[in-house]
Amino acid sequence: NSKDSEFLGVDILLPKTKPILLAAAYRPPKDNDFYSRLEDTFLNSPSFVQQESIFLGDFNTDILAKKDNSLKRSLNNFLKIFDMSQLINEPTMITDTSQTAIDLIFSSDADKITQSGVLPCKISDHNVILCTRKVNKCAFNRHNVTKIRSMKNYDEIGRAHV
């Protein structure tokens, strides 16, 4: 049911970089229209293609499943349309009977991601997914010193008039 879907996005504005949309999402297991609704949302947003995007969350789409299905095709279509990479390639939910990769991270600028992966978690049946993004190094709160020379008291050939 689309009423149970969740999507929360935040724009991050850093110096010397285009805006970054960081979003967390949850797709309920029976919501088969999630990717098409997400696609429509971003196709109707003129600013979306002008920013870097990182989506992470529980998408309930097992990318490690051997069988192809309509959900995996919808996800792959979404990633292809927006030229995004899926960064998690190991199980994120491990039970006694199965191992699935349903907690995922998508990035529009994967070359800016320095690491991604999965960490074991003892308090949930889902492991923790993570990624680290490069940050441009720039100086903050530095004072600029500008030396100027007033030419008010000089003539055209550089003689001082005091």
Question: What string of pLDDT tens digits covers the 162 residues of the chain?
Answer: 567 889 999 999 988 888 999 999 999 999 999 999 999 989 888 788 789 999 999 999 999 999 889 999 999 999 999 999 999 999 999 988 999 999 999 999 999 999 999 999 988 889 999 999 987 666 555 666 777 766 677 666 666 665
CA proximity to 105, closest of 94, 115, 97, 120: 115
> pTM, whole model, 2 decimals?
0.80
| Helix, coil or strand: residue 158 | coil
